[in-house]
Amino acid sequence: MTSAASALVGTGVSGPAEIHANLTAAGLYAHALRRGEGRLSADGAFMAVTGQHTGRSVQDKFVVDDPEVHDAIWWGKINQPLPPAKFAVLTGKVRAFLGQKPELFTQDLYAGADPAHRIRVRLVTTNAWHALFARNMFIRPPQAELEGFKPDFTILHAPEYDADPAEIGCRTSTVIALSFAARTICIAGTSYAGEIKKSIFTVMNWLLPERGVLPMHCSANLGRGGDTALFFGLSGTGKTTLSSDPERSLIGDDEHGWSDTGVFNFEGGCYAKVIKLSKEAEPQIWDASHRFGAVLENVIADERGVLDLDDNKLTENTRSCYPIEFIPNTVPGGQAGKPKNVVMLTADAFGVLPPIAKLSAAQAMYHFLSGYTARVAGTEKGLGKEPQATFSTCFGAPFLPRHPEVYGRMLAERIARDGAEVWLVNTGWTGGAYGTGQRMSIQHTRALLRAALDGSLAKVEFQRDPFFGLMIPKAVPGIPSSVLNPREGWADKDAYDRQAKHLVSLFEKNFETFAGAVSEDVKAAAIRAAA
């Protein structure tokens, strides 16, 4: 195991009186409670409150503008450039800050279940609970592999340090800065643990395309017949819920690679959104969140530690982080074969998309680059009464260091090469928009997904949707026709037509960014979708 003396080698940090290296969950619990970092739930989960930041600070993310990577970075609002000299000042300040602490916690971990494509990560943090979060989320090496562990990337994690915008050139006192050249990530001014997880996902999104591996923001599971399925989707679309299917084995719930040999998980844990989590609808996530070893972020409990998962007084973005083995039916080793089915999830609050549709290869790239869902009024500050469309290219724009077309082309090539079927699934509203219609039944969604994954849905008769050019099944046993064809579920058909045309126009406007960077067949798919 990594010794305390060697735990900081190569990090540039020195000086702490005590270093807690690679502690187990129990050891990290003990230190977190001793230090007053949080409390326990009635079931033994560790509960932490992250303060001002209850989600990712997207506007405070920077990529160091090193000369060797400049031309390949997708610069803009997502990847803001930080001069190397400013990064040197920032890391110098953070290293000095960490070195002045009486104690630090380190964890040595892997990202990537496939040994051919994994990286070694070392986290240096001021808090035991953040170390526990990382230990849950990433892959824990066997003890024998910790001796002499040399990280490929180091995370300097100082949530209590406030950066100086005038000195660093950042927007606020919060900064998440990543240098591919220095192989260092610096996180300061935020306690939200998801920054740790997503910074490494960004690293994998940078490294893997050069190795011919497609990195993906998706969950994945495995059927009893050995068929792999991928689930793309933004937060709130059901990606974690639908991949945690009792009838299938979970490969992973959020981040994967698609290589020449198959699919592999980047992580060793799950990070589930748990606001209004239901034991009846999501028993596996419920059980995993009510036990020792789980980390709960911004979840409310009473004085006895009994959780109230409906309470959103701190945030709608309440989270549960737990090792993947807390889910009973997982794929050992986090690897499986090439995907047979690719599912793109959306929660359409406009109520016009069908619950399931079959996509052509061109439509698959179109919807992948679009990355659509709709936020609902009342769930986020500043939203009005009407639903608001959200487009996040490749279903993960905040984590893409390269241009989106790189990932889009790789997906199209993989689908064509491996012969995967592609489905668009709406877990949003039916029978009307949010406020008039109702949320899609999870029972209907699961039934349609199972029919798609077992191959039976591909054999039914389909009809073309006139607005989006989608192929919709005409009839599926147990699913009402008014659900399969969303227009039939609306009492006011003219209102449906107006809403559908409005959503089409939003798709069309969003896709203007990619019009000059995609092939003619994808352009044709976009034209049909916007007709």
450 is catalytic: no
Q: Dump the DSSP string for 301-334.
A: E-TT--EETT--SS-S--EEEEEGGGSSSB-GGG
Active site residue 502: no
Considering the candidates 235, 261, 278, 379, report the single residue annotated as catalytic. Answer: 235
Angle (deg, nearest 10), helices 520-529 and 493-511: 150
| 56 is annotated as an active-site residue | yes
> Is 198 a catalytic site residue?
yes
Which residue in the list 56, 122, 375, 402 is annotated as catalytic?
A: 56
Active-site residue, selected from the candidate residues 217, 256, 290, 528: 217
The amino acid present at 473, given as its one-letter code, is P
Residue 478 CA to residue 467 CA, distance in Å, equals 26
Residue 381 bears catalytic tag: no
Point out the catalytic residue in the list 60, 65, 254, 465. Answer: 254
Active site (annotated) includes residue 235: yes
Residue of 135, 198, 358, 409 marked catalytic: 198
Residue type, 252: G
3-state secondary structure 457-524: HHHCCEEECCCCCCEEECCECCECHHHHCHHHHCCCHHHHHHHHHHHHHHHHHHHHHHCCCCCHHHHH
Looking only at the bridges linking them, the beta strands covering 421-426 and 184-188 are unpaired
**Integer angstrom CA distances of residue 3 from 97, 146, 197:** 22, 9, 24
Q: Which candidate in 118, 140, 239, 444 is catalytic?
A: 239
How many H helices and E strands in the chain? 14, 30
Is residue 443 within 8 Å of residue 376, measured between CB atoms? no
Catalytic, out of 61, 197, 319, 402: 319
Q: Is 217 a catalytic residue?
A: yes
d(CA 75, CA 371): 19
Q: Is 254 a catalytic residue?
A: yes
Q: Which residues are marked as active site?
A: 56, 198, 217, 235, 239-240, 254, 319
